[in-house]
């Protein structure tokens, strides 16, 4: 590999950390670089601010600061990417459904059980990124090779709609929409108890003191807690209420949830804070049969502006067969009743709902 050194100068347009700034804008300058790869490049002296070398990734930039970056092989992760052909899971990959695709974005329905991208705790697992690479699609590189194309994620056992960026331009635009909360995400879940009433939950979420795998509600700042907001609504369907055919004999209460922020485990944590739990969620607990093998949470609707055209787009991922089976109705009937317009209409009176903080 060539040791050729290239330079690129960028003017900062917002006060922020240096590593965050580079992670957003330097997909082409630092190909395959993750946040940690960018930090390594900074510490190696490959970045200067206003013509002065900066060695701290957390350096605070000011508006109009000039950032100069050297391109070097130190920023590339390509040499560390392991071969994954031996652990490709065709069974899971075959369940991935393509909802929409163009030159900039790919919208899919992710099956439950599929990990989105590689993590230290999930080595050896097949991932959505594996599938995307195997399909030979062009993918954005802003997140690094291990997170190619990924701008948001769903937990392993959460199914549903996701958007993938196929270009760095699309990745930056979609990430901005998610950060500015202009993209809308609505979920369907099966709960152990119905909501007492439709409600909004505004409670900060941070690291759980007693279990490192969990998150919990805390005052902002405690245990890294950050502001989080969700809205929850009961869905009552005659077909479900009258059904007596559920083989698991669980009380399956359908709710819909709308995210206004995107914290880890946000829906699960906020529901737990009001003593409601998603069926199959063994981490946060639930009332019902212990042999349920997945978390019954599904990303149902995703609304966003197309990164290139600015056109508002709305995508819906129909519920999977296991949802219908657990509540005792057939999948077709369930999806015919839970139309996109019906679910969106559930949130029209949201201004009148109780707000819990």
In the residue annotation, 102 being an active-site residue is answered as no
Please say whether the beta carbons of 13 and 65 come within 8 A: no
CA distances from 58 to 178, 189, 316 (A): 23, 39, 39
Residue 5 in tokens: 């050194």
Half-sphere exposure (Cβ direction) of 143: Cα atoms closer than 13 Å: 23
Nearest partner of 352 among 163, 162, 200, 160, judged by Cα: 200
Q: Which among 14, 130, 155, 291 is annotated as catalytic? A: 155
Q: Are strands 159-165 and 297-305 parallel, antiparallel or unpaired?
A: parallel
Distance, in Å, from the CA atom of 234 to the CA atom of 256, rounded to the nearest integer, reads: 7
Look up residue 34 and give its two tokens. Answer: 């993750």
Residue 356's CB is within 10 A of a number of other CB atoms, namely: 14
- The single residue listed with the structure tokens 């163009």 is 102
d(CA 122, CA 27): 25
- Give the integer Cα–Cα distance in Å for 304 and 288: 36
Which of 252, 255, 246 lies closest to 298, judged by CA? 255
Work out the burial of residue 213: count CB atoms within 10 Å of its CB; fewer than 13 is exposed, 13-18 middle, 19 or more buried.
exposed
Rg (CA), the chain: 22
- Residues serving a catalytic function are 155
């Amino acid at each position: 590999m060539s040791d050729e050194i290239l330079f690129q100068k960028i003017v900062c347009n917002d006060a922020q950390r240096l590593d965050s700034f580079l992670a957003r804008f330097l997909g082409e300058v630092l190909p395959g670089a993750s946040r940690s790869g960018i930090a390594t490049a900074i510490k190696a002296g490959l970045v200067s601010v206003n013509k002065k070398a900066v060695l701290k990734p957390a350096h605070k930039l000011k508006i109009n600061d000039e950032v100069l970056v050297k391109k070097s092989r130190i920023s590339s992760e390509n040499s560390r990417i392991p071969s994954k052909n031996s652990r490709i899971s065709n069974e899971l990959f075959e369940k991935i459904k393509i909802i929409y695709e163009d030159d900039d974005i790919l919208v899919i329905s992710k099956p439950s059980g599929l990990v989105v991208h590689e993590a230290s705790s999930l080595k050896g697992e097949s991932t959505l990124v594996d599938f995307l690479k195997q399909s030979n699609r062009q993918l954005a590189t802003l997140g690094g090779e291990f997170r190619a194309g990924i701008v948001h994620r769903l937990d392993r056992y959460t199914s549903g709609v996701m958007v993938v960026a196929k270009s760095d331009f699309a990745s930056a635009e979609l990430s901005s929409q998610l950060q500015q909360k202009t993209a809308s995400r609505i979920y369907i879940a099966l709960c152990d108890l119905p909501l007492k009433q439709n409600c909004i939950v505004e409670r900060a979420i941070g690291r759980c003191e007693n279990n490192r795998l969990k998150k919990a509600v805390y005052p902002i700042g405690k245990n890294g807690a950050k502001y989080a907001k969700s809205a929850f609504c009961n869905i009552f369907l005659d077909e479900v209420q009258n059904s007596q055919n559920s083989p698991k004999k669980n009380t399956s209460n359908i709710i819909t949830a709308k995210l206004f922020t995107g914290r880890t485990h946000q829906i699960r944590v906020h529901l737990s804070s009001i003593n409601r739990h998603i069926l199959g969620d063994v981490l946060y607990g639930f009332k019902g049969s212990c042999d349920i093998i997945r978390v019954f949470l599904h990303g149902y609707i995703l609304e966003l502006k197309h990164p290139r055209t600015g056109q508002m787009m709305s995508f819906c991922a129909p519920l999977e067969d296991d949802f219908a089976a657990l509540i005792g109705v057939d999948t077709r009937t369930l999806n015919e009743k839970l139309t996109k317009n019906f679910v969106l209409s559930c949130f029209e009176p949201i201004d009148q709902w109780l707000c819990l903080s």
